Amino acid sequence: GAVVSQHPSWVICKSGTSVKIECRSLDFQATTMFWYRQFPKQSLMLMATSNEGSKATYEQGVEKDKFLINHASLTLSTLTVTSAHPEDSSFYICSASIGLAGTDTQYFGPGTRLTVL
């Protein structure tokens, strides 16, 4: 089946530093990738949608200058948390969709746990 990987699986960083998280579709080309954030005991919340070769679309309340998304190829999207602060500590999850229609399955990555000290 379709596999999505994320790297790193966990990261601890100091406040003020930037952290890059990679999301790769291993055996398929993903036209669309999604980035989610999950705080403890909360639901997943969509942060942004990215399509290869175009700018990401951010959800209301998500700072695009803080959460930089690059979707350089059909198999790779990156999320960079810039100038991270403790309140950015969360579980970040990506998913990838094969097709363009709204009914296509999203394949989820295993997630990246970010802890900002």
Partner 1 sequence: KNEVEQSPQNLTAQEEEFITINCSYSVGISALHWLQQHPGGGIVSLFMLSSGKKKHGRLIATINIQEKHSSLHITASHPRDSAVYICAVPTQGGSEKLVFGKGTKLTVNP
- Distance, in Å, from the CA atom of 31 to the CA atom of 27, rounded to the nearest integer, reads 13
Interface with partner 1 (CB under 8 A), residue from 58, 67, 111, 116? 111
Judged by CB, which is closer to partner 1: 6, or 75?
6
Judged by CB, which is closer to partner 1: 13, or 45?
45
Q: Is 107 in the site for partner 1 (CB under 8 A)?
A: yes
Interface with partner 1 (CB under 8 A), residue from 11, 19, 32, 78? 32
Minimum distance from residue 1 beta carbon to partner 1 (Å): 9
Q: Is 106 in the site for partner 1 (CB under 8 A)?
A: yes
Given the rule CB under 8 A, which residues bind partner 1?
Answer: 32, 34, 38, 42-46, 49, 91, 93, 97, 101-111, 113
